[in-house]
Structure 1
Amino acid sequence: MTTQTINLVKTQLKPLTIGIVAGEISGDALGADFMHQMNNLRDDITWVGVGGSKMQALGLKSIIDMSRLSVMGLVEVISHLSDLFAARDEILQTFFDKKIDIFVGIDAPDFNLRLGKKLKPTGVFCVQYVSPSIWAWREGRIHNIKQSTDLVLCLFPFELDVYQKHHHPAVCVGHPLLKTIDKKLLHTDVLDLRLNLIWENPYLHQFFASFGKGKKDDMSHLIAVMPGSRRSEIASILPNMLESMHKLLLMDNQLCFIIPTINQNFKTMVEQYLQNEPNQLQERVVVCCDENIANFSQQIMAISDLILLASGTATLEAMLLNRPMVVTYTMKPLTYWLAKRLVKIDYVALPNILANKQIVPELIQDEATADNICRTVQQNLTPQKYQQQLHELSQTTQTLRQQSNVNPAVAVINAWFGF
């Protein structure tokens, strides 16, 4: 921040009222971080809007319960339309009554852009934090974004091109994972991480103790398997993963597999699929979770030699942890047919999108067979392929960090003052 900006911030006499709306748990964390950064700049901010416990702990007076906005899926949204409209009107009325100076929508673009479209014409400075995926599909939405916002805070540098093309202010502030990844996972020896986690987690301790494994020399490779965080993803992706794991074991009976889940319900679901597999595979797979550790899945990634995972944010986590990976994804045929015609990008895995080339293998839809997954995992465990992927992941992470060093609060203040 420039000295001129700091002086303007400090000398602004009128207390600042900011409206902010997050519609789900991930948005609550992102919103709380933004509020923390803004509170560091000014101590006279009044926060009003919608958020969870993290945002409320930093001074937000929540107008409604955040759960009213946490609606996903076409059918679910349609059935909740009347309440969503009522929530929108209640939020807008409060914003008008409080005479907010700035509005910040945290993700949830379908809802927040509608708020911005009503607020911007009245002189409220409107910010959308997390860009809609117009870089991937439906670029025409940019016109609605321009009508609804004064500034867009993007998570990735590649998102800026479409805003520059349409002459709309946008800044890359970086993905929150860049700040929240535990540095111990990056700088501690993998074997030390592995032994500590195995000792501390009952599931892992029992599993590895049962056949005396745990040390690097006691197993050929340790592979983390992550079939997704939704039930529909697990149902679609996990069966092929399990079949490929069995094929891998037939060629190397010293392999071990770890499947981390987000909670006990998902753990039970995965174990039910595993029960239908041959005993040889069941004996080499541990399904585990620890709901008391927020970054448990990241810890599992960090101790693994390679990660077999569904496309999604987890691929970014794996890249930032510098763990080689094989990415796969399947969906319903009609959904895939539509996606192929709407999506205009060449890759689905974030590391590849960021690098603008394929640095991690992608096996999507018809290519995501058990044979292909098995063959690709084997290839990427060979020393040459393994080291090549490690190098390219590290290079891509370094570039991403260099291009994502703007403080979101500073970006908003600078844009609001016209710098």
Structure 2
Amino acid sequence: MVYKNYVLLLGADQYLRERALAGIRELTQYPIWTASVEAKYKKNRYFDYNLEADPQDEISLLEAIERQKLKGWSPKAIIPLNDWTLKVAHKLNKKLGLTNMPEKVIELSRNKDIMKNAFLENGLPTAPFRLINNEKELLLASEEVGYPAIIKPFDFGGSGGVYLANNISEAIECLKKSKKVVSKYANDFGIDGSSFIFEKYIKSEEEISIEVVCYDGEYKVLAVTEKYLTPEPRFAEIGHLVPSHRTEDENLKEIACKACGSLGITMGLAHVEVKIQNNKPWIIEVGARPAGDGIMDLIERVFDINPYKLHAASYLNINPFEFFSTSLEPNGTAAIAFLKAEPGVISNIKQPINLPEEVESLWIHAQIGNYSEEAKCWKDREGVIELFWDQTFDYKPTKPLLISEYLSSEIFTVKEVVKYHD
């Protein structure tokens, strides 16, 4: 049978990843499909077709693909866009004889223990750490690594279950809280969550991500992104800005590319997170997929290139470096910041009439009656704003946070302000 081909995107229907569809339409004329549970009841009309399958489940996806083969359709590529679909996409690509990365590479990019060991083996700077499973191992890690320390699940993301401990008693409590977070989200995100990382805390407010294009052993930095985090002891990401004033730092770019190479990432975009303390970079982790939180949209706004197009190219055996030079010139600065109400019950939501001129868009997803918690991770957000300036900055501006704080105070009324306890 001569099959008609399609491109299957996994994770593209996730909020703030929608531009993947536009980028891949620039690249190919193949129909673009997605997969979702109960697809007939939750049809996504932006895609050409919805497979009736769980995008994180290999068996249901394979069964759905085989059903479509009987109708004359076969995937040209299966492209993952987030951590949760990374493993299943590459396993299916391998089974179907499509372009894929080895399972070992996927494991390296999802398991923070073996990932950080790979960094060390390749002479890359990463904080001292130990893998722990229980309180006894935590006590040993305390003696070897010391304090302050970060405790986090070894295979989760989005700042979920990440806690700061300054002593042994806090560490024991943090481990309990991290285990609680894992038990809550393990099924939804397909994580193991049986082990945790005990890591020396690099005390610094300076954190960036470096977006790297990977193809056939070659690596090029697409953009450097400034991150905005909540103050200690929280580490929730509350904003991002492109381009960073560190964009021309060749040392940072070299370290990011070397980090991708140390994990064996050979295709698509990689998201490298770096902490900077006293001008010294420390690699936190690397994701073998495009960045989330709208960072790809910021890059597109500033550099007039859709990063998802580059990501998809290598999955379709097209050299992504054909589409961009090594020195993209920004046309301004773009940022995204998340709206946050005070802790308590939201009693009123008022859409502001006059927005600051920098605001390109505002979206509120919270509803009256919702309980707003102190920002700890990706889920503690009430909305989002996108901003743009027709200039670049030679420093990290505070404007995204100031505008977000101002608008949050204008939009949300909280009936009772409470102090949140984990």
The two structures have a TM-score, normalised by structure 1, of 0.31
Q: TM-score, normalised by structure 2?
A: 0.31
User: Which has the greater radius of gyration?
Assistant: 1
Comparing both structures, which one devotes a greater share of its residues to helix? Answer: 1
Report which of the two has the higher share of strand: 2
